Structure 1
Amino acid sequence: MAFQVQQEAARLGAAETIGALLAADGAKGHSYIACTIFARGREAARDLADAVHFLSSLHGRHPGVIDHARDKAADPEVRAWLDAAAAGFAEERAYLMRAVVAAGPLPSTPGHAECEAAVTGQRHALDMLGRSDRNGCALGAALALVLDWRAVRAVIDAAAQRFGLALTPPALPSARQALAIAAEAGSPAVERAMVFGAQQLLVQHRGLWGLLEARSEARAEVFA
């Protein structure tokens, strides 16, 4: 699907292409993170705790993708959007960390060392995207993170409710604002870089969703 989206990129602008990437590869379209994790009965508590712990491993550190992109922004409009996104994500990060504390220890799961190594690799990949010198790459990754976070936030909210934590309002800029920034990319080279950054961010997210699903299945076998 990602290859088909790349083929369409030559005919679509950055905003349309990133929107297509979200539809094809975003968290909302992943069966585990969008549906199964909420319907696991007695296992839901372990699955949700696992999810917030690993999300914090990937996105709980500062500076993150959005912060790095902001440091590179020269256009005033883009910089203003990234300022708002960085401030909003700081609130989202704090909420995520409160959910981690409320969830308690990371659930015991077979193959944990390998999972930790995989997430370390994903975190490094995101750091490289955020620090990329290719004009538009970091911005594309930041846009994809903001857009994909809406589906991720549903998981954090479910964990908060499960573990007795008060919900907080979403703090990130709207999808409409994000896509408006993408639509003003400028040159075709910048558009391509933005699409690449967005695509690679989503690749890392999908890797995490697959990892969480595999961990859930491994626990189910142990505790069956």
Structure 2
Amino acid sequence: MAIVATDMQRAGDGASSIATLAASDGCARHPWVAQLTHPAAPGRDLADAVHALCAVHGRHADLFEKAGYRAVPDLDQRWLAPAAGGFARERAYIAALTAAVGPLPSTAGQAESDAAFAAMRHAFDMLASSERTGCATGAAVALLIDWQAFRAILDAAADRFSVDTPDPALPDEVAIVRIAAAAGATPAILRAMRFGAQQAFAQHRGLLDLLEARAIARNHH
């Protein structure tokens, strides 16, 4: 997914800040996304990605729900409730894919990977529970942005393993631009939003780095 940075920059400082982060830190341009969405991507690598996304984002409690519990002054958060509902449908999609792709591919260093996935879950829990007003909302916006790339990976796996692909349940790029542009809060809150987004992007890049390393380990096993 390519974020329309110029549109977001016209919308305001909060939007342009997250847009700049998305362009530099978001996972859409991570090389492993291109590898996994290529028609020749190995099925074991797609299966590994599905299991990893399930491990990190497949639980019932999610970032959108938790962010919705924390009111942010002067910020329109009405999008969080439908996003939470949409992400519940995305989790159901992940669950169906996880069953379809079969067992987790055997990979050296699985215990270390499991610990990394647990650390990522903990990081998102910390962002969602942050007392810093705006942090959870910024992380939620980043998840919306990165999910466009993750959804492409899931759809590639669905095509490979003959699973029906449901319609996307989360906002598209244009809607994400509007959400990020809606930031009309104080500079301190905008900084907190940027921090939350930055941390979420970093976790997702780490996830893709780990998936790439796991594929290399399998190929050299």
Q: TM-score, normalised by structure 1?
A: 0.88
How many angstroms apart in 1 are the aligned matches of 2:51 and 2:207? 12
How many angstroms apart in 1 are the aligned matches of 2:60 and 2:79? 18
How many angstroms apart in 1 are the aligned matches of 2:148 and 2:71? 24
Preserved CA contact (<8 Å) 1:38 1:44: no
How many angstroms apart in 1 are the aligned matches of 2:146 and 2:113? 22
Q: Cα distance, 1:28 vs. partner?
A: 1.1
What RMSD in Å do the two structures reach over aligned CA positions? 1.8
Match of 1:178 among 173, 176, 183: 176
SS in 1 for 2:123: helix
Match of 1:78 among 76, 79, 98: 76
Aligned position for 1:6: none
Q: TM-score, normalised by structure 2?
A: 0.89
For residue 156 of structure 1, what is the amino acid of its counterpart?
L
Q: Cα distance, 1:147 vs. partner?
A: 1.2
Q: How many residues align?
A: 210
How many angstroms apart in 2 are the aligned matches of 1:187 and 1:77? 9
How many angstroms apart in 2 are the aligned matches of 1:160 and 1:76? 40
Q: Which runs of 4+ in 1 moved over 6 A?
A: none
Aligned position for 1:214: 213
Preserved CA contact (<8 Å) 1:138 1:194: yes
Aligned position for 1:142: 140
SS in 2 for 1:79: coil
Deviates more, 1:206-215 or 1:182-191: 182-191
Deviates more, 1:186-195 or 1:73-82: 73-82
Preserved CA contact (<8 Å) 1:58 1:122: yes
For residue 25 of structure 2, what is the amino acid of its counterpart?
D
- CA shift in 2, pair 1:77/1:14, >3 Å: closer
Q: Cα distance, 1:39 vs. partner?
A: 4.1
Match of 2:100 among 95, 102, 108: 102
Q: Where does the alignment leave 5 or more consecutive residues of structure 1 unmatched?
A: 1-8
Preserved CA contact (<8 Å) 1:26 1:148: yes
Deviates more, 1:43-52 or 1:195-204: 43-52
Q: Where does the alignment leave 5 or more consecutive residues of structure 2 unmatched?
A: 1-8
